[in-house]
């Protein structure tokens, strides 16, 4: 007997891999390359849309702890990411094309994983199935999901532009990581003085935005973690200077002082030919992006390899619908994984795929569920989506705020975060290895 996995994104690939490693065959359904969502362009699996960064890698950070837990659980994507990484300071960032290609090669090379290239429009009945179709689930399949879930929620997500390295004016920029942590070439910093920033800010808040005519929702909600730069700017003139354009930890070698504001560019590929505008997710019209972002001195002649785009995200009301093993409360043969459950972030999505895959096999073989302790980052995320607020459920990424407090309380933040990480890893290794 086999298990169905619908969607070959980050969560779906992890789920299929976990199932196969336990000796169970998988039918992995993927509508690409016959049909693409508005945001996907690559025919390969596990395509990274918004950014090539998988966030911090040190285990004393929430994102780093999450990845370490995934390594312990045998993550496919963490292994692939390490083989495709590009310099990114203290973060784990990848060459996205090489990453997707490697994941695809691994999945297609697994004899127990059967790839079915077709769009799924209905949920198989009486078969163990994992739905991992992601935040851009096709309209036809959304209808099927809505039928079993009693509706779904939607919000909008935005991706940042990418510029070519050769078009960056390095006379107006400098290489550095914040506080000199990480590789020297991880980030190109584009400083602005007060006058330059005020000109940029004024033009940004007045710039024309692209119409959302491709989407079927009015007055969309925008998740804080992917807030478009122009929306964030409307909160106040200094909002960006305390957010994505914060200058702390950086010193302009031309002046010897901290800039008034800074745009950071992160390496997008191994060749170092492309750079991502960090934190500059946007829904401005393409011509407006060129005009406004070129007001940043280092980008005055920027060549945009990709402009920012905004697309729909969809997630179910998980606290009302899901158990902490990612199965449905009303049908334990049906599992959900990935951003459609309300976890926010690449690795958070992949981690939920690991949990769903392991538990789908447990269901098939009538074994005990894997319920990870809430002291672990993955366990706390699963707990959040299954027990969170039923009135105002919002996506959640890895953060130490959802873990049980360390007792007695540790005031020093660095020491407290390290204690969180050590506790989690100890518990997970004791129960897993």
Q: What is the pLDDT of residues 11-25, one digit of tens each?
A: 999 999 999 999 999
Pick the more confident residue, 216 or 29: 29
- Alpha helix ranges (H) inside 54-120: 62-72, 76-83, 96-108
**Looking at residue 222, what is its pLDDT?**
61
Q: Looking at residue 209, what DSSP letter applies?
A: B
Distance from C-alpha of 33 to C-alpha of 358, rounded to nearest angstrom: 28
Distance from C-alpha of 224 to C-alpha of 402, rounded to nearest angstrom: 17
**CA distances for 122 relative to 114, 131, 144, angstroms:** 19, 11, 6
- Alpha helix ranges (H) inside 193-264: 194-206, 229-233
**Looking at residue 224, what is its pLDDT?**
62
Distance from C-alpha of 182 to C-alpha of 284, rounded to nearest angstrom: 32
Cβ-proximal residues to 222 (8 Å cutoff; 6+ apart), any chain: 155, 156, 158, 228, 231
Both tokens assigned to 337: 């994984």
Q: Is the pLDDT of residue 215 over 50?
A: no
Whole-prediction pTM value? Answer: 0.82
Q: What is the pLDDT of residues 197-210, one digit of tens each?
A: 999 999 999 999 98
Q: What is the pLDDT of residues 350-408, one digit of tens each?
A: 999 999 999 999 999 999 999 999 999 999 999 999 988 766 787 889 999 899 989 89
Q: What is the mean pLDDT of residues 91-103?
A: 96
Cβ-proximal residues to 88 (8 Å cutoff; 6+ apart), any chain: 53, 182, 183, 186, 187, 266, 267
Helix pair angle (377-387, 346-364), 10° resolution? 80
DSSP 3-state assignment of 321?
helix
For every residue of 328-357, which 3-state class applies, written as one string?
A: ECCCCCEEECCHHHCECCHHHHHHHHHHHH
Measured torsion, CA atoms of residues 314, 319, 323, 324, in degrees rounded to the nearest 10: 90
Cα radius of gyration rounded to whole Å, the chain: 22
Closest CA to 340 of 12, 4, 3, 2: 12
Confidence of residue 216 (pLDDT cuts 50, 70, 90): very low
Phi, psi of 133 (to 5 degrees): -85, -5
Both tokens assigned to 145: 């999901």
Pairing status of strand 113-117 against strand 26-30: parallel
Q: Is the pLDDT of residue 72 over 80?
A: yes
Sign of the alpha-carbon dihedral angle for 253, 258, 264, 267: positive
Distance from C-alpha of 83 to C-alpha of 106, rounded to nearest angstrom: 13
Q: Is the pLDDT of residue 158 over 80?
A: no
In contact, 393 and 319? CB cutoff 8 Å: yes
Distance from C-alpha of 166 to C-alpha of 128, rounded to nearest angstrom: 51
Length of the chain: 433
Cβ-proximal residues to 178 (8 Å cutoff; 6+ apart), any chain: 89, 248, 249, 250
């Amino acid at each position: 007997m086999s298990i169905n996995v619908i969607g070959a994104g980050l969560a779906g690939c992890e789920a299929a891999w976990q199932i196969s490693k336990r000796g169970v065959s998988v039918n992995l359904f993927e509508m690409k390359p016959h049909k693409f969502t508005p945001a996907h362009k690559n025919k390969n699996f596990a395509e990274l849309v918004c950014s090539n960064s998988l966030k911090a890698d040190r285990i004393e950070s929430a994102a780093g702890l999450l990845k370490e837990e995934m390594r312990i659980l045998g993550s496919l994507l963490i292994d692939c990411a390490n083989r495709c990484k590009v310099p990114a300071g203290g973060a784990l960032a990848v060459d996205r094309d090489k990453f997707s290609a490697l994941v695809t090669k691994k999945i297609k090379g697994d004899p127990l994983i059967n790839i079915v290239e077709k769009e799924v429009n209905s949920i198989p009945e009486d078969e163990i199935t994992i739905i991992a179709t992601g935040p851009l689930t096709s309209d036809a399949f959304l209808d099927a999901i809505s039928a079993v879930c009693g509706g779904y929620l939607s919000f909008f997500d935005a991706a940042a532009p990418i510029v070519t390295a050769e078009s960056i004016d390095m006379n107006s920029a400098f290489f550095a990581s914040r506080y000199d942590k990480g590789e020297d070439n991880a980030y190109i910093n584009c400083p602005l003085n007060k006058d330059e920033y005020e000109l940029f800010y004024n033009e940004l808040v007045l710039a024309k935005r692209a119409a959302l005519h491709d989407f079927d929702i009015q007055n969309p909600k925008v998740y804080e973690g992917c807030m478009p730069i122009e929306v964030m700017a409307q909160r106040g003139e200094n909002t960006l200077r305390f957010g994505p354009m914060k200058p702390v930890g950086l010193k302009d070698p031309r002046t010897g002082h901290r800039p008034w504001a800074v745009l950071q560019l992160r390496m997008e590929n191994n060749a170092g030919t492309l750079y991502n505008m960090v934190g500059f997710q946007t829904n401005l019209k393409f011509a407006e992006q060129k005009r406004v972002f070129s007001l940043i001195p280092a980008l005055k002649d920027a060549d945009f390899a990709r402009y920012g785009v905004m697309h729909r995200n969809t997630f179910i009301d998980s606290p009302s619908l899901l158990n902490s093993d990612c199965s449905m409360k009303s049908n334990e043969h049906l599992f959900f994984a990935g951003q459609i459950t309300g976890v926010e972030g690449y690795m958070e999505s992949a981690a939920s795929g690991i949990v769903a895959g392991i538990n789908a096999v447990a269901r098939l073989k009538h074994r005990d569920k894997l319920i990870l302790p809430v002291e672990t980052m993955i366990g706390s995320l699963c707990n959040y989506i299954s027990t969170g607020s039923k009135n105002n459920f919002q996506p959640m990424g890895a953060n130490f705020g959802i873990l049980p407090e360390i007792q007695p309380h540790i005031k020093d933040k660095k020491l407290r975060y390290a204690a969180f990480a050590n506790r989690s890893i100890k518990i997970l290794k004791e129960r897993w290895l």
